[in-house]
Structures are given as C-alpha cells and as structure tokens.
C-alpha cells in the first residue's frame, strides 16, 4: 500500500457508534500489526467536546478498551482531504457526507458495513435510545467490520 491508511468513522452525534467503530478498528489494526490512523466524528454538532455515551464506554471496557478520553467532534470538509477513508455508519449520515464532501476531497467514502460482504448496504443500528443490549449489537457490527477492513487494507 502506498499510503498509510487514515480512517474516519462517522455517525450522527459521535458518542455511540462512531467511537466504538474507532475503538474496534484501532484494536484490530494493532492486533494485526497494521500501521493506521483512526478517528471518529459526527455529522451533527450536539456533542462536540463531550465524551462517549456512558453505555459506549462500558461496552468498550468489556473489550478491555478505554475510550473515556475520546471527545466528540463534528466532521469537516478538511476530513475528506486528511483521511484516506471516510465510513458512514448509516445511509442518512452517508447522504450528509456526500453533500458536504468538497470537490478536492480524496477520501474514499462508503458505508462501514460495505466492507463485510454479506452486509453491504446495511446500517450499524443506533443504540442511543435503547438499553445496553443495543451497544452489544453495535459492538458486534463494528468489530466485524473492523476485522474485515483491516484484512482489506493489508490485502
């Protein structure tokens, strides 16, 4: 690969799904020895500067991953120039990202679950309005995608 992968995961508020996706990818990249950068952001600005949802923090902790220091931020046009890949966690966020992508943006843009062959086009369910079980499901999805993405990037 000619360029070090720089991957951005984007959901709505950057406190549930995208921080977990970032954490899963970081863990899988480290396990596989892949030199990559990762970050997460939201299309909305409600949680800029906030830590992840306590339920997301707890779910990551069950995987021995500490995301308490993560801080919410809003995606910017510059992200499309700085990252090699931008992954939306659902179709609504993909549409927002497509609408703000600058003409000189070079990042590959797609749905995260598109990296999992039998889950192309599927969203990562938003666990925000549910209980802790939703965060387990979210983790399972983003972890599966992280494994597939790391394998793809190493390919």
Of the residues 16, 17, 26, 73, which is catalytic? 17
Alpha-carbon gap, residue 109 to 87, rounded angstroms: 6
According to DSSP, the residues that pair with 11 across neighbouring strands are: 42
Are 113 and 122 in contact by the 8 Å Cβ rule? The answer is yes
3-state secondary structure at position 79? helix
* Residue 16 a catalytic site member: no
- Catalytic choice (11, 26, 73, 141): 11
Strands ordered across the beta sheet of 6-11: 37-42, 6-11, 85-88, 108-111
Which residue in the list 39, 90, 126, 141 is annotated as catalytic? 126
Active-site residue, 147 included: no
Say whether 126 is catalytic: yes
| Angstrom distance (rounded) from CA 16 to CA 20 | 6
For the annotated catalytic residues, the residue numbers are 11, 17, 126
């Amino acid at each position: 690969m000619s360029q070090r992968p720089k991957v951005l995961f984007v959901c709505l508020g950057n406190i549930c799904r995208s921080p977990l996706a970032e954490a899963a990818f970081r863990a899988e990249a480290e396990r596989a020895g892949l030199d990559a950068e990762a970050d997460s952001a939201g299309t909305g600005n409600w949680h800029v500067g906030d830590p992840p949802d306590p339920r997301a923090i707890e779910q990551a902790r069950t995987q021995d991953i500490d995301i308490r220091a993560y801080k919410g931020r809003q995606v910017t046009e510059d992200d499309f120039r700085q990252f090699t890949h931008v992954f939306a966690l659902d179709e609504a966020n993909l549409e927002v990202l497509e609408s703000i992508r600058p003409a000189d943006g070079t990042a590959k843009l797609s749905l995260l679950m598109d990296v999992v062959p039998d889950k192309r086009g599927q969203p990562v369910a938003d666990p925000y309005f549910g209980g802790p079980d939703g965060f387990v499901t979210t983790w399972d999805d983003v972890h599966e995608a992280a494994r597939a993405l790391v394998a793809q990037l190493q390919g």
